[in-house]
Amino acid sequence: MLSIESLSIQLGEFSVQEVCLEIPDGEYFIIIGPTGAGKTVLLETIAGIYRPETGRIVLDGKDITRLEPRDRNIGMVYQDYMLFPHLTVAGNIAFGLRQRLVSERRQEDAVQEMGQLLGIAHLLDRYPITLSGGEQQRVALARALVLKPRVLLLDEPMSALDSQTRERISRELIAIRKATGTTIVQITHHFEEVHTLADRIAIMQDGNVVQVGEPSEVFLHPANTFAAEFLCIGNMIRGVSSRLGRLARIEAGGQVFYAASEVTGSVVATLHPEDVIISSEPFISSARNCLEGTVTGIVPVGSVVRIVLDVGFPLTALLTRESCHDLTLGPGRKVYATFKASAVHVIPVTAQEPEYRD
Amino acid sequence: MRRLSLAFTLFVFAIISVTLAVLILYSPPDILLGSLANPEIQFAIGLSIVTSVASTLICIIVAVPVAYALARYTFPGKQVATLVLTLPLTLPPLVAGIALLLFFGTTPWGRALESAGFAVIFTPLGIVVAQVFVNLPFMVRILRSAFASINPRFEHVAKTLGCTEAGAFFQVTLPMARHGLLAGTVVTWSKAMGEFGAVLMLAGATTMKTETLPIALYLNISTGDVDLAVAAATILIFISLAALCCVEYLDRDVNVF
């Protein structure tokens, strides 16, 4: 178990404020947030590069806040891999073992084993500068993993890779985690990685952790407008909410719709485009909301089509190409948008809340 | 434009190479070789090599920590420190020399050093001191930019892999800065070989005592012994050429000047 207890550190323009996280053994934990949110500083503080101003870091019940990085048994892989250019791949992987005065024989065996595990055994005599991005990534992982760290910290490990390599390395990371049981804490600003890799995620904004939870939970119920915008939830509707029985009645852009929520006052309602059904006639169903509107835009995205409606406010829905064709949708066409009250998530808007703009 | 600039390049090239060629070809080879056998020239070569190697080593030892601090740490007065540390770069060596002379000759600290056996005025030791004073800023500058170009995250990773701070420096940063270190060493050494003004002021120009190659050149030209002066000059040219080739060969990326 890795516990971060109200950790604060200020480093130039970057800061981390009162961050608390509990990461159980073997978890794949991803921290997401925009550039400048303090993600890397947080990771470097966990690794021991910087001393926090306040707070504690506890690993397996032991306070490691004041421990030197070399005594923490925490591995770190940076975005640009930071392979030592004056050493061969084998020299890079064996670097940590040499510090621990492991015998030459055992160094060689461990390097071979790592080379096999990560599929870089044929590169051991090369210098890092001659490797591709994906290969460098594997060497950096091997260099950290050969020490069998308790926790592996990954600083945007895939951001410099093409999408195919990224997918392959994602699969390998999952396999490595399974094989070694290492706890992995990764930071990223790609949320595609979040769904495939993470057991849990934390969202960071301006040095604060604004939400922690399982990816699906966070995507369905973002804690604030920043999280919702950062996660690119398709529909964010500003309005005013009031109670109506067990539901919230939300007025926005001259329209009214209902949400299963108890939040009242000034709100932002989030709604995933996948949860919106489009029909040419009013759709009779158990769904509470059925709004009339006109199509204003049709954007093909891969195998699906993104339909933008004006129902008094802009509303986005996702359809398959086939349904889009069957409905003979086109700009200006009058349609009905149906969605369940339970699909709408309501976030209260406080006056001081900073608005996130990318 | 292309023709004009190429013409100028050719012109400047011709001026430099013809001038140097005239000097090298001034005395017939047998006289040049004869000068090399002259005990005064041999003494000058020996003294130049010993003092320049010593001063270069001192420069390396001092400049490595200084350059690292300037590249990595922020501290109060850093800008002033940087300015003062690099001032001797643009200072005429004669001025540096007279400042040293006054420091060692007139201040209580200078006299204390002298009575402690560290006599530098008009001694070979003074040659080393003068060379270090003038050349240290070059070494610091070259090393500073070498260290500054190395991402500190290399050291961070090394530390998570089990290094102490010193270990990370000696196993990662210093090897990565080796091109800068070599370039700095070659430049410092060749400048030490040729140092004249500061050496003249502090160590004087005593035949067969503080007579380095540039001093030998100066002494012999003032007494009209052109052959010996030319011999000393020719040796200095070859040393410069060798140093330059060294730097070019060692590193095509590090900008020395």
Condensed to tens digits (0 to 9), the pLDDT of residues B33-71 reads: 888 888 999 999 999 999 999 999 999 999 999 999 999
Q: What average pLDDT does the segment B243-247 reach? A: 81
- What ipTM score was computed for the predicted complex, to two decimals? 0.83
CB contact under 8 A, A48 and B159: yes
Q: What average pLDDT does the segment B177-204 reach? A: 91
What single string gives the DSSP state of each residue in A18-58?
EEEEEE-TT-EEEEE--TTSSHHHHHHHHHTSS--SEEEEE
Dihedral sign for Cα A312, A316, A320, A322, please. positive
What single string gives the DSSP state of each residue in chain B?
-HHHHHHHHHHHHHHHHHHHHHHHTTS-HHHHHHHHHSHHHHHHHHHHHHHHHHHHHHHHHHHHHHHHHHHH---TTHHHHHHHHHHHHHS-HHHHHHHHHHHHHHSHHHHHHHHTT---TTSHHHHHHHHHHHHHHHHHHHHHHHHHTS-THHHHHHHHTT--HHHHIIIIIHHHTHHHHHHHHHHHHHHHHH--HHHHHHH---TTTS--HHHHHHHHHHTT-HHHHHHHHHHHHHHHHHHHHHHHHH-SS----
CB contact under 8 A, A78 and B178: no
Q: What is the pLDDT along chain A (358 residues), one digit of tens a residue?
A: 999 999 999 988 888 999 999 999 999 999 998 888 889 999 999 999 999 999 999 999 999 999 999 999 999 999 899 999 999 999 999 999 999 999 999 999 999 999 998 889 999 999 999 999 889 999 999 999 999 999 999 998 887 788 888 888 888 888 888 888 899 999 987 777 788 889 999 999 999 999 999 998 888 888 888 888 888 888 899 999 998 888 899 999 888 999 998 888 899 999 999 899 898 888 888 888 999 999 998 888 888 889 999 998 999 999 888 888 888 888 888 999 999 999 999 998 875 555 444 3
Chain A environment of B171 (Cβ under 8 Å): 95
CB contact under 8 A, B176 and A85: yes
In the stretch 308-327 of chain A, residues with CB closer than 8 A to chain B read: none
Chain B environment of A44 (Cβ under 8 Å): 156
Domain ranges of chain B: 38-250
CB of A119 closer than 8 Å to CB of A138: yes
Interface test with A, best of B160, B172, B173, B251 (most A CBs within 10 A): B160
CB contact under 8 A, B160 and A143: no
How many Å lie between the alpha carbon of B240 and the closest alpha carbon of chain A? 29
Q: What average pLDDT does the segment B68-80 reach? A: 92
CB contact under 8 A, A82 and B161: no
DSSP A311: S
- φ, ψ of residue A82 to 5 degrees: the values are 55, 45
Chain B environment of A143 (Cβ under 8 Å): 157, 161
Residues 6+ apart with CB under 8 A from A71: A64
B-side interface with A, Cβ within 8 Å?
151, 153-154, 156-164, 167, 171-172, 175-176, 178
For residue A228, the model assigns a pLDDT of: 86
* Residue among B156, B162, B178 minimizing CB distance to A99: B162
Local confidence band at B253 (pLDDT 50, 70, 90 cut-offs): low
The half-sphere exposure of A297 on its side-chain side, counting CA atoms within 13 A, is 9
CB contact under 8 A, B178 and A70: no
How many Å lie between the alpha carbon of A213 and the closest alpha carbon of chain B? 28
Q: Please say if the pLDDT value at position B113 is more than 90.
A: no
Chain A environment of B164 (Cβ under 8 Å): 68, 70
Number of neighbouring beta carbons within 10 Å of residue A145? 23
Number of residue pairs across A and B with CB atoms under 8 Å?
Answer: 61
Question: Three-class SS of residue B169?
Answer: helix
- Which H or E element spans position A235? strand A235-244
Tokens 């040729």 sit on residue? B194
User: Rounded to an integer, what is the distance from CA B196 to the centroid of its chain?
Assistant: 11
Interface test with B, best of A46, A59, A64, A84 (most B CBs within 10 A): A84
What is the pTM for the complete model shown? Answer: 0.83
Local confidence band at B257 (pLDDT 50, 70, 90 cut-offs): very low
Residues 6+ apart with CB under 8 A from A129: A85
% of chain B residues with pLDDT over 70: 97
A23, burial (CB in 10 Å: exposed 0-12, middle 13-18, buried 19+): buried
Q: Please say if the pLDDT value at position B205 is more than 60.
A: yes
CB contact under 8 A, A144 and B161: yes
Chain A environment of B158 (Cβ under 8 Å): 84, 95
Chain B environment of A99 (Cβ under 8 Å): 161-163, 167
d(CA B32, CA A152): 68
Give the nearest chain B residue to A99 (CA atoms).
Answer: B162
For residue A161, the model assigns a pLDDT of: 80
Tell me if chain B has a CB within 8 Å of the CB of A200: no
CB contact under 8 A, A68 and B163: no
Give the nearest chain B residue to A96 (CA atoms).
Answer: B161
d(CA B210, CA B215): 8
What is the set of domains in chain A, with CATH numbers?
Answer: 2-220 (3.40.50.300), 226-348 (2.40.50.100)
CB of A147 closer than 8 Å to CB of B161: yes
* Residue among B153, B167, B176 minimizing CB distance to A86: B176
CB contact under 8 A, A99 and B167: yes
- Average pLDDT over chain B, rounded to whole? 90
CB contact under 8 A, B161 and A48: no
CB contact under 8 A, A99 and B176: no
Angle between helices B39-72 and B213-222 (to 10 degrees): 130
CB contact under 8 A, A96 and B162: yes
Name the CATH superfamily for B38-250: MetI-like (1.10.3720.10)
CB contact under 8 A, B176 and A70: no
For residue A352, the model assigns a pLDDT of: 52
CB of A95 closer than 8 Å to CB of A82: no
For residue A162, the model assigns a pLDDT of: 82
For residue B254, the model assigns a pLDDT of: 47
d(CA B6, CA A351): 68
- φ, ψ of residue A235 to 5 degrees: the values are -120, 125
d(CA A311, CA A175): 47
User: Rounded to an integer, what is the distance from CA A353 to the centroid of its chain?
Assistant: 22
For residue A140, the model assigns a pLDDT of: 95
Local confidence band at B251 (pLDDT 50, 70, 90 cut-offs): low
Local confidence band at B174 (pLDDT 50, 70, 90 cut-offs): very high
The half-sphere exposure of A88 on its side-chain side, counting CA atoms within 13 A, is 11
Give every strand in the sheet of A208-213, ordered side by side: A74-77, A151-155, A183-188, A28-32, A200-205, A208-213
